Amino acid sequence: MPPYLEILLAKSFEIIPGEVYNQYRAEVTERLGDSCLFYEFSLLEEKPWRILRERIYPLFIRYIKAKLIDPTTASGVVVAVFHADKCYLMKGEDFLATYQEIEGIDPSTFLAKIKEWLSV
């Protein structure tokens, strides 16, 4: 497993079998309503970090911004990462922190990156 994937998946607050994800999401949505937003993507094949850096993260930022969620915090977002037969669930905040950790950048540099993604 590539190092970036180990770092990313280690941020999970829960790991569930992939086949029960829809049930999990329905239960959380029923309990919390619209206060929780899910963002899903698949890494069923081990993709290079650049795929996440250049595609997944920019799309995530634009998506949550469109949903009126602060793209600098991603508060209230659950990121569901499908890998192998599991689904790794992480807080949006941790998903953003992972980018900074893997890229080795500080919060101000990351904020500039977010602004760049939103300007496209």
Helices (H), the chain: 3-10, 21-32, 49-51, 57-66, 92-103, 107-119
Beta bridge partners of 91: 78
Q: How many domains does the chain have?
A: 1
For residue 105, give its domain range. Answer: 3-119
| Beta-bridge partner residues of 116 | none
pTM for this entry:
0.93
What pLDDT shows up at residue 36? 86
Average pLDDT (81-92) is 96
Determine the average pLDDT of the residues in 38-50. 89
